[in-house]
Amino acid sequence: MVHVTPPFFSVVVPVYNKAEYLEEALESLYAQRYTNFEIIAVDDGSTDGSMEILERHHAQGNIRLYRRTRPGPGGYAARNHGARMAQGRWLVFQDADDWCSSDHLAEFYSSIVNTQGRGIKLYVNAYAKRWGDVIQPAVAFPHHGELSRQQGLELFSRSDYIHMNGACIDRRAFLDSGGFPEGIYRRGGDVYYWIRLLASMHRTHYNRKVTSHWKIDNCGISNNLNNLINTHPARDALGALPHELTWKEAYYAKKAVNRKLISWGVEKKRHGMAIAEDIKSLHPEALSLKQVLHCLTLMLPDNLFAHCRTLVGKAL
């Protein structure tokens, strides 16, 4: 890394008990072809040796290191703290157990430079889901380039095309938006934030090239059933937006919320958890036919649910 003041990018890495994977995540950042960036690691009270690894990398001059004495759920507060400490104009977030390709930042830089003057504050690179050695692109949208507000919301109503590792956001815009929700959600707070951001920005940018891997088998937050107890945070995403949405924008925003509520409900149903509140929170005026079919399966007795799910399809 070339330590230029100020750096173009600040990469924020929240860390909580990721000693087994941390070195690989950091090495993927050190291998970046674009070098004008800083790494800000925020330890959230690790007890597994992660802090010792971070202290070693800090002593070598590779990272800036902060430690929070009162860790918050989901790593959202740690990311916000790193953003406040950042010196770069653009923020990139890297989970401590995931991986990015050597052209990850270079792709963001190219997109930013090629759209100067367009007022774009959020850039998204495609990502892949990884289970062990199995790698599968998360989405396969043909679109590449600038997205209007309506297009961004429409894409998100179909799939989680934004992932924490694949987003690059203007630092001032992030701070002005309030950042990720702190102390409220243990899981899904990032989706809450992406929906609000897409509904607030006039335009965004999508690059369909995959530049990061989300390692599903390492994701403790997603695998913890206690994080499913409440309704998905997306339910709250459309409250008090800074401006009015057009009818179509509002439709796709609500459809995106429905997608997450139903997906969450399906996961809860599989584990025998109550889903009445999830169903009650849906926006019926924005339900697609496929979403209606998913809702119908949720209302079935448990012994019929699994069978009918295979007929309706699993994708949400």
**Rounded average pLDDT over 111-120:** 96
Average pLDDT over residues 178-195: 93
pLDDT in tens, 204-253: 999 999 999 998 875 554 556 677 878 899 999 998 787 789 999 999 99
Tokens 């409440």 -> residue: 230
Q: What is the mean pLDDT of residues 81-107?
A: 97
User: Three-state SS for 37?
Assistant: strand
Q: Whole-angstrom Cα distance, residue 200 to residue 115?
A: 19
pLDDT band, very low/low/confident/very high, at 304 (cuts 50, 70, 90): confident
**DSSP H or E segment with residue 277:** helix 276-280
Nearest to 80 by CA among 144, 176, 165, 166: 176
pLDDT at residue 4 greater than cutoff 90 = no
Class of domain 9-223: alpha beta
Tell me the DSSP string of 167-203.
EEEEHHHHHHTT-SPPSS-SSSHHHHHHHHHHHH-SE
Of the given ranges (95-104, 105-114, 182-191), which has the lowest mean pLDDT? 182-191
Its pTM stands at 0.91
Domain segments of the chain: what residues? 9-223, 227-312
- In the prediction, which pLDDT does 300 show? 87
pLDDT at 1: 54
